[in-house]
Amino acid sequence: MTRALIVVDVQNDFCEGGALAVAGGAAVAGAITGYLREHADRYTALVATRDWHHALPDTNDGHFAAGADPDYVSTWPEHCVAGTPGAELHPDLQLPEGVLAVVKGEGRQDYSGFSGRVVGAAQPDLAEALRAAGVTDVDVVGLATDHCVAATALDARAAGFDVRVLTDLTAAVAAPTAVAALTRLVQGGVELTTS
């Protein structure tokens, strides 16, 4: 068994004070940093995903609710625009060298890290990059439990990896959608555990 850790979207815009803040986002950033200080040696590969959207007027295939109220299900306020401070990783998230950086949502609606591309890699497909590193198992942490964490974990499972979500290293947008997402994860064969 060779394990990877995927840190999903721990970005300024998803933490307190950001354009689409998740309550507890900054605490998750710090908790992941502390976890990695203690347990980085458990992982053969470390991945950090980021939303990396085009700015308005591009709506990113309808992801941004330009000129309308967002429904917070499939349309959202403008967030994580490529090259802006909001798209940067939160400063409390300290990652070691050698992280595979993945960007997603470039002009389209992407929730899963497996829909993005590995930056600067000869193999931009995340699943293939993990397989090339010999990874068989994946742990998923980050923001938000009910959207991008769930989508990434389910796509990792669909790609053939054994997957765990470390729930204490995640935070959700809302309790009802978090419960629904956790139910989908269990039904999809993802293990829910803590760090």
Provide the annotated active-site residues: 9, 104, 148
| Assigned token pair, 11 | 């970005």
Pairing state between β 191-193 and 117-118: unpaired
The DSSP result for 111-167, as a single string, is -SGGGSEETT-SS--HHHHHHHTT--EEEEEEE-IIIIIHHHHHHHHHTT-EEEEEE
Nearest CA to 150 out of 168, 128, 172, 124 is that of: 172
Kindly tell me the burial class for residue 120, based on how many C-beta atoms sit within 10 Å of its own C-beta (0-12, 13-18, 19 or more): exposed
Kindly tell me the burial class for residue 54, based on how many C-beta atoms sit within 10 Å of its own C-beta (0-12, 13-18, 19 or more): middle
